[in-house]
A = this chain, B = another copy of it.
């Protein structure tokens, strides 16, 4: 216990720290971030397969507004994590795990948008915000959203 500053002698006394901010809270938000991209990719690949019968690198890149090598690297990661398959010059496909994740993500996305709209958020704004928020909505929170939506008349 040495250190530099000798308590700048400000107003706040040595109260037991009002909130205590556990580091884990931030750690969680940080790692969730790493998962966000994966979720968007998987959901989008699922969408493309449903809409067009397959998901091509170029289509994915276009939808995401990203250059194609970026997609190639991301798909490599999806494969590494067992969420997708692909062979050179062929499209990208989801594994069972990938498809399951896509479905979960899609559902959560829709529920969140519905909630926002129910709370009075314009639907275009709801879509926009949901795209980012969705990746941080835990199962518990999602359940609460569903309950609220179901309960309201």
Chain A residues proximal to chain B, CB less than 8 Å = 3-5, 7-12, 15, 17-19, 21, 23-29, 32-33, 36, 40, 44, 47, 50-54, 56, 58, 62-66, 89, 91, 116, 119-122, 125-129, 131-133, 135-138, 140-141, 144-145, 147-148
* Beyond A10-B53, A121-B144, 4 extra complex contacts between A and B, CB < 8 Å: A9-B53, A12-B51, A120-B144, A131-B136
Max chain B CB contacts within 10 Å: which of A33, A56, A116, A140? A140
Interface of A is mostly: helix
Max chain B CB contacts within 10 Å: which of A32, A127, A132, A138? A132
Chain B residues contacting A135 (CB-CB under 8 Å) are 132
B136:A54 contact, CB within 8 angstroms: no
A128 to chain B, nearest CB (A): 6
A98 to chain B, nearest CB (A): 18
Q: What would be 21 A-B contacts, judged by CB atoms less than 8 Å apart? A: A8-B52, A10-B54, A15-B51, A17-B51, A19-B47, A23-B64, A23-B65, A23-B66, A26-B64, A28-B128, A29-B40, A29-B131, A32-B132, A33-B132, A119-B145, A120-B147, A121-B141, A122-B140, A125-B138, A129-B137, A136-B136
| Complex Cα spacing A101 to B91, Å | 44
